[in-house]
Structure 1
Amino acid sequence: MASYASRVRSDIARWQQAGLIDTRTADALTRDVETNERRSLSFGSILAMMAALLFGAAILIFVAANWETIPRLARVAALFAIILAGYVGGAVLKTRDHAAIGEALWIVAAAAFGGSIALIGQMYHLSGDEASALITWGAGTALAAVALRSSPLTVASVGIADAWLVLKGFDYFRQTEFPRLFVVMALVLFAISFWTRSQAARHLIILSIIFYLVLFAIDHDTLQVAVPLVAASALLFVAAIFASEPVDKVVQLGGRLPLHALIGFLTGLAMVQFELAGKSAYDSGFATASAVALAGIVAAIMLGGRESRGLRWVAYAGFAFELAIIYVVMLQSMLDTAGFFLAAAVLLGILALVIIRIEKRMNAPRAEGAAA
């Protein structure tokens, strides 16, 4: 698939060939695209981040392997030296126009900080559990992200919070309470992401909240969580489509809020369907939820599919999931399954014919105006 910059360059060439812009304007637009493309996350930046993670892991494993032979004071000094060198060295390199390497060193320092918590806690037999260590690690990384205004460190903080949620949510720490603290953590990190200009962190936080609601539904009443999630996601989708500019100015997701809203909508309906599927294959509630899901998928493609390839792929995946779950739940009666699919196919076919006719009528005046 062609990248955004490649598509823009091809459009510029087409506009120039059609006489819409002159050569000077085309060259200026092409230079602007190339400049912004170089500023984006490049393959070299990704390799630098991967190298930083491997380097940090190698240092920590080396220290842990020789833990008993290194004097106690030297252990603590070595760990703090790695953290200090990573943060200070990264800041110096970033001010000298080596942003990728500087951010990579900050990731090394954050990884060293997490390892230091575990190793020092083990060395001094400090009280506490793994959950407290993860919270301390995440808080320290978030503070570093704020101080350095670092997007990668913000993403790392969200990743640590997600690790805490997964381990806590699946009861790995043998605790009985549900991890409600994650809501506070997500809100704080979401606010931090605006300061650090980390759009990637905001995307990850929204997906993490959806996962949190899934865990919350499993631990509590499913329908009381799933139905509000469906309704809220539908409202967010409508707002993001019909008031895209003011909404995106608030959330700053690069116009991808409809994609997240569709994921939340389909996730909520999937939870409803799983809850109702076990009751009866003939339960009208399951059929209603399935019909709402299919209608929502069609509406999402109609309203936002043209502008977002990711939204279309999510809608296609949701459609395939709906076909699979309807077949599995209604397997006891093949006639009912066939009848449902037939009715859905007829309705979608009629809807497709109506949409095609409307699109032809809308495009006809544009073609006449262009010909004039």
Structure 2
Amino acid sequence: MAGYSTRVRSDIARWQQAGLIDASTADILARDVEANTRNSLSFGSILAMMAALLFGAAILIFVASNWDAIPRLARVVALFAAILGGYVGGAVLKTRDHAAVGEALWIVAAAAFGGSIALIGQMYHLSGDEASALITWGAGTALAAVALRSNPLTVAAVAIADAWLFLKGFDYFNRSAFPHAFVAMAAVLFAVSFCTRSQAARHLILLSLLFYLVLLAMDHATLPVAIPLVIVSVVLFTTAVFAPEPVDRTVQLGGRLPLHALLGFLTGLAIIQFELADESTYNSGFAIASVVALAGIVAAIVLAGRESRGLRWLAYFGFAFELAIIYVVTLQSMLDTAGFFLAAAVLLGIVALIIIRVEKRMKAPVARRAVA
């Protein structure tokens, strides 16, 4: 954020020197940048947050290690005191312009709440499993995020839901059914993120849903999951590119919905290609999927690459991946070791040439507008 604000200030000075804006406008813009920069986390604030997190972890570990020596009532009182002290202390610090430390105390309180679930459940031999504990922890953290309008607590709630999905998806809890409930969790947390103005949580939720779909494709039929993912991704990308303002007002992702859509498109096609790779010599399904992937990458760069460097780099990675998987599936048996290194050199050269040419094309319109 500091680097961005520095670049904006230099741009404001350059615009004023070039006569594009007057002195009063430059002053207004500079003051707006300064006001928004104050709200960002400084390096000292980040260190303070990390120190608070380590302090909270030390308290929980100390209590857990001396659990048997502490009277039962004192245990419960200490746990609730840690939770209450973290939330109340964080709120007080937030009102006194110590936002980073206050948010850190809220995270400590949320961690203490999760530890309390495990320790009290063990102490009173309460029925339930780890999955139920994670759901309770996540629900409590989400409620705290709504009550306190906290961005970090919202991200923490999403992370807890992701932990539940990961453990359930990989059968750590001896599950009897696939964790479809994650879709409902994601929907609730997405709504919570609007209440807490947590754009980071929305990005994490979209990535988590993509991970859920990958698990679903692995656990169930592959193509019935991957093909709709590709279609929906194309629709989202097209809508976000041709109607950016209303779409971003709705999802509030900072204009990065095309990036998520491209990632979904590439993921869906990768699933399809892996599914059809063994049958590539018997039908043309793999070749069609590869052509669609390459065409989609080119279209993404042409339509939205100029506005998003992240999207361009994702497209470059996708292009390199497509070249690699096409080679592995269709050409591996035709080349010896020396030929492989030659082909790899040629492929890397092609990728580098394409990246250089695309970057020049992206920079040319900006340069022409600056000269004009």
State whether residues 2 and 37 of structure 2, in contact with CA within 8 Å, keep that contact through their aligned partners in structure 1.
no
* Aligned equivalent of 1:154: 154
- 2:306 is matched by which residue type in structure 1? R
| 2:132 equivalent to 1:132 | yes
* Aligned equivalent of 1:268: 268
- 2:141 is matched by which residue type in structure 1? T
Q: More deviation in 127-136 or 53-62? A: 53-62
**Pair 1:48–1:365, CA change in 2 (3 A):** closer
Aligned counterparts, 1:112-261, within 5 A: 112-261=112-261
| Consecutive aligned runs of 4 or more in structure 1 exceeding 4 Å deviation | 362-368
SS of alignment partner, residue 234 of structure 1: helix
SS of alignment partner, residue 118 of structure 1: helix
How big is the shift at 1:226? 0.4
Determine the C-alpha separation between the residues in 1 that align with 2:273 and 2:313.
21
* Aligned equivalent of 1:81: 81
CA-based RMSD of the aligned residues comes to 2.7
State whether residues 53 and 105 of structure 2, in contact with CA within 8 Å, keep that contact through their aligned partners in structure 1.
no
Determine the C-alpha separation between the residues in 1 that align with 2:254 and 2:220.
34
Number of residue pairs aligned between Structure 1 and Structure 2 = 357
* Aligned equivalent of 2:70: 70
**Pair 1:281–1:43, CA change in 2 (3 A):** farther
Alpha-carbon deviations, 1:114-138, whole Å to 9, x = none? 0001111111111111101000000
How big is the shift at 1:7? 2.4
Which consecutive residues of structure 2, in runs of 5 or more, have no partner in the other structure? none
**Pair 1:70–1:289, CA change in 2 (3 A):** same
Alpha-carbon deviations, 1:206-258, whole Å to 9, x = none? 00000000000111111000010001001101111110000000000011101
* Aligned equivalent of 2:52: 52
TM-score by length of 1: 0.89
How big is the shift at 1:334? 4.7
Determine the C-alpha separation between the residues in 2 that align with 1:74 and 1:207.
42
* Aligned equivalent of 1:301: 301
Identity, in percent, stands at 77
How big is the shift at 1:282? 5.7
How big is the shift at 1:322? 1.2
Alpha-carbon deviations, 1:109-159, whole Å to 9, x = none? 000000001111111111111101000000110111111111111000000
Q: More deviation in 75-84 or 319-328? A: 319-328
How big is the shift at 1:310? 1.1
- 1:70 is matched by which residue type in structure 2? I
**Pair 1:294–1:182, CA change in 2 (3 A):** same
Determine the C-alpha separation between the residues in 2 that align with 1:363 and 1:205.
34
Alpha-carbon deviations, 1:73-116, whole Å to 9, x = none? 10111000000000111111111221111111100000000000
SS of alignment partner, residue 184 of structure 2: helix
Which consecutive residues of structure 1, in runs of 5 or more, have no partner in the other structure? none
How big is the shift at 1:260? 0.6
Q: More deviation in 18-27 or 59-68? A: 18-27
Alpha-carbon deviations, 1:287-346, whole Å to 9, x = none? 1111111111111111111111111111111112112111111212459x98xx99xx7x
State whether residues 281 and 332 of structure 1, in contact with CA within 8 Å, keep that contact through their aligned partners in structure 2.
no
* Aligned equivalent of 2:40: 40
State whether residues 281 and 329 of structure 1, in contact with CA within 8 Å, keep that contact through their aligned partners in structure 2.
no
- 1:15 is matched by which residue type in structure 2? W
State whether residues 280 and 287 of structure 2, in contact with CA within 8 Å, keep that contact through their aligned partners in structure 1.
no
* Aligned equivalent of 1:319: 319
SS of alignment partner, residue 278 of structure 1: helix
Q: More deviation in 178-187 or 303-312? A: 303-312
How big is the shift at 1:3? 3.1
* Aligned equivalent of 1:332: 333
Determine the C-alpha separation between the residues in 2 that align with 1:178 and 1:71.
41
- 2:309 is matched by which residue type in structure 1? R
